[in-house]
Amino acid sequence: MPKVVPEYKKMAKIKIIQAAYQVFSENGYHPSKMDEIAREVGVSKATLYSYFKSKEDLLKMISISTSQRLNEIFQKSLEGQNSLEPFEELYNNMEEFQGSLHLNFEILSLSSHDKNIREIGRNIYDEKIDVFQVFLENLQNKGIIRDDIDARTLARLVAALYTDIAMQLVMGFDKSEVRETWNQSLSAILEK
């Protein structure tokens, strides 16, 4: 049996994760079948299972990818930026991926019935709060935002705002009004 080059395996996994994200976004998590994901990638179902043992594993990897993207946005901003600009980029990402935001709410809904998915959701939430907290602490230390409330509490307020804004986008509210709500709410939460 020929050996598979590690770079090929990594690229194949990325393609499978992207296809699963697409299928889950279009159909929802539970109705989606591994056959559909395999078809989307252009591989057999057996090949799919050689990379991921279950649909739940794919959901975990999608969640990890989402968290990594969030980390990238805010990590890059910690390197010298002294503004709230990363929150603008975060909003732009929400708007860009508006068609798949419902997947976050589906994960939330599934959490009430599925212990493993609940753990995935909690991990995503905790990572988001950690990233926001580090970023906000940095801005507090530089005197850019209010420091009368600890950064973790501010991080939770921003996460709550993010969830509400994502919900408005999923429900099809006017984008310009949603963006204005995002900007005004961030100002109300963070300004001195």
Here the tokens at position 184 are 């005004």
Q: Same domain for 44 and 77? A: no
pLDDT at 96: 77
Q: Same domain for 24 and 75? A: no
Q: 5-33: per-residue pLDDT in tens?
A: 678 888 889 899 889 988 988 888 888 99
Is the distance from CB of 62 to CB of 69 less than 8 angstroms? Answer: no
Stronger pLDDT, 76 or 28, i.e. the higher one: 28
**What is the rounded distance in angstroms from the CA atom of residue 7 to the CA atom of residue 13?**
10
**What is the rounded distance in angstroms from the CA atom of residue 98 to the CA atom of residue 101?**
5
Domain containing 37 equals 1-53
Q: Same domain for 132 and 83? A: yes
Q: Which of 42, 46, 40 is nearest to 20 (CA)?
A: 40
Q: Please, which residues have CB within 8 angstroms of residue 75's CB and are 6 or more apart in sequence?
A: 131
Q: 93-150: per-residue pLDDT in tens?
A: 788 776 667 777 777 787 788 888 888 778 878 888 988 898 899 899 989 999 999 9
Average pLDDT, the chain: 85
Residue 42 belongs to domain with CATH number = 1.10.10.60
pLDDT at 107: 76
Q: For the chain, what is the domain count?
A: 2
Residue 134 belongs to domain with CATH number = 1.10.357.10
Residue with the two structure tokens 């705002």:
161
Gyration radius of the chain over CA positions: 19
Here the tokens at position 40 are 């989307």
Q: Same domain for 8 and 93? A: no
